[in-house]
Structure 1
């Protein structure tokens, strides 16, 4: 197919800030997970789809299937609306946990 460019599950971005490998970040309407570490302003590959263990707001309880949002100011995942919707929880998470398991579906919202 002549119009196909790439699969699209991994894209190259300009890092909006220093990012550790495996950390989530947001560029425009896209939330991605850094494949490698990158300095602010450097090129970074970001994975847009898959299931990841990600940093979450710790005083929250998540149920399987909860909608999960990216809070760019806190740089944490949350089940409270107001951030960028990124996907859904694939495992329950207890109140004191600092990470949660999230399915990122790569959709632009």
Structure 2
């Protein structure tokens, strides 16, 4: 196909700030996880599909199916939409307390 450019599960973008491998990268509505460290403006491949384990608010229980939001100030996930970015849906329950949650990367419309 002449207009196909890439698979889409990993997309190379200009880093919006210095990024560290394994950290979330949010550019508008595009959300992914950095595959490598990159300086501000440098090309960085980000994973845009799959299940990711990421830091969460420790004192927060998250159930399978809960929407998870990224709090960029504290670099962790929570269930609070206000002021945060929707990044996916929990696929494994995370107890209170626990340090991480596994979530399917990608926004949801439900």
Alignment TM class, shorter chain as reference: 0.7 to 0.9
Equivalent residue for 1:31? 31
Counterpart in 2 of 1:44? 44
Runs of 4+ that moved beyond 3 A:
none
Which structure 2 segments of 5+ residues have no match? none
Alignment map for 1:89-100 (pairs within 5 Å)? 89-100=90-101
Q: Deviations over 1:16-43 (max 9, x none)?
A: 2222211112111111101111122221
With structure 2 as the length reference, what TM-score do the two structures score? Answer: 0.85
Answer whether contact 1:31 1:70 (CA < 8 A) is retained: no
- Hey, what's the Cα distance between the residues in 2 that align with 1:50 and 1:89? 12
Secondary structure of 1:53's partner? Answer: strand
What is the rounded CA distance, in whole Å, between the counterparts of 1:106 and 1:34 in structure 2? Answer: 17
Deviations 1:2-24 (A, max 9, x none): 22111111111122222221111
- Please report the TM-score for the alignment, with normalisation by the length of structure 1: 0.86
